[in-house]
Amino acid sequence: MKPNGKPYFKNLKCRECGRLYPKEAIHVCEFDFGPLEVVYDYRAIKETLSRSLIEARPRSMWRYEELLPVEGEPTVGLQVGFTPLIRAVRLAAFLGVKELWVKNDSVNHPTLSFKDRVVSVALSRAKELGFQVVACASTGNLANSVAAHAAAAGMKSYVFIPHNLEQGKVLASLVYGTRVVGVRGSYDLVNRLCLEIVGKYGWGFVNVNLRPYYAEGSKTIGFEILEQLGWRIPDHTVACMASGSLLTKVYKAYQEAALVGLVKEIPFSIHGAQATGCSPISTAFRQNTDVVKPVSCPQTIAKSLAIGTPADGYYAIHTMWKTGGSCEDVTDEEIIHGMQFLAEYEGIFAEPAGGVTVACAKKLIENGSILRDSTIVLCITGNGLKTQEAVSGQSEAVRVIEPSISAFDKCFMLG
């Protein structure tokens, strides 16, 4: 474990000016408002961490704990992560590619989305920093995860969501006994309100004042992809974008793994996927600019991605530029098709965000941004059982028959 009980993360650092900050509950630089990021001692990590050490550990995201920002042992979400990486043979054949993998965080423990990763880091750190109350602004999945983890950790929680979310996502927060606040307005207005509440009450908001720690949790999806591929970096990784954070953290994970000697450094591309009804990042990318113009009224069935002012949009664009990645967006109809492809070819029921990823990957393959003979990983981030409204009426109807064999035969024209 950690040498002399000392953590491998030292400070927070401004991404813009490089100023160092103490590792407290702060998230922006006071000079230029740049986001703060965690700084690690990579040299010390390289000396300690090895593939075999990781492989001998329990199968959870905490097997990479040296590269996560907690000081002591993690205390929240110990079973999170190590979700299946599935070789998607049938979907690959349909898309006309050689080697396709699906990283299936729709079955992440305990709340069926990749947000369990960020929350377990954020709440482990929140406990170290002495917070009794935790909270978040969320499009649904994050609220579910904060509510569940706070309940299990015995912490009080508040989750703030747009008032018109899918019922499955609302219930999947309420059940944990959290205080669910439905705000009349878009996610961006929810987020603005939360900034004021942090200022007034000083709670631990996982994606506001705890954001530097929270965001690091996303790296673990990247580390797991590398390990599950036999410690190699895939040529192409496709991730959906709401704030754009996930994309930048997958990039960071691949870079860090190479830096500490876990994988060989090779060129790789990271691609972003958005819903056309809320596509501020892909619109900017298409216009070849890193100035992301806010979308004031998102209109998409992919509600989990409906963030009109993406906090990490600028960095997501630079990640795609740096890695030779590309970006696409897809309509609601294409999103539903994407969900159906994943369900019918691979038996995976993803939420609309997963449909966004699959449908955008299809476009990226067709337009040559992703080469057909390369290794491709699609990050599937949430579960379709929470968002049943999106596909109700889209599949074949139930066939109701009398309880007799002849009725069955007649129905399917068998016998």
Sites of contact with Zn ion (CB under 5 A) = 14, 16-17, 19, 29, 31-32, 34
| Smallest distance from Zn ion to CB 83, Å | 35
Q: How far is the CB of 32 from Zn ion (least distance, A)?
A: 4
For the bound state, the minimum distance from the C-beta of residue 16 to Zn ion, rounded and expressed in Å, comes to 5
Closest contact distance (angstroms) between CB of 11 and Zn ion is 13
CA dist 395 and 402 (Å) reads 22
And the tokens for 271?
């691609």
Beta-sheet pairing, 236-240 with 204-205 = unpaired
Closest C-alpha to 301, from 207, 164, 197, 188: 164
For Zn ion, the closer of residues 29 and 226 by Cβ is: 29
| Residue number, 30 or 389, with CB nearest to Zn ion | 30
In the complex with Zn ion, the residue whose CB is nearer, 27 or 386, is 27
CB of 21 to Zn ion, least distance (A): 9
Q: Of 409, 401, 54, 100, nearest to 257 (Cα)?
A: 54
> Which C-beta is closer to Zn ion: that of 18 or that of 96?
18
Which residues fall within 8 angstroms of residue 256, CB to CB, at 6 or more apart? 40, 42, 67, 219
Min separation Cβ 37 and Zn ion, Å: 11
Element containing residue 313 per DSSP (H, E): helix 313-323
CB nearer Zn ion, residue 37 or residue 227? 37
| One-letter amino acid for residue 259 of the chain | L
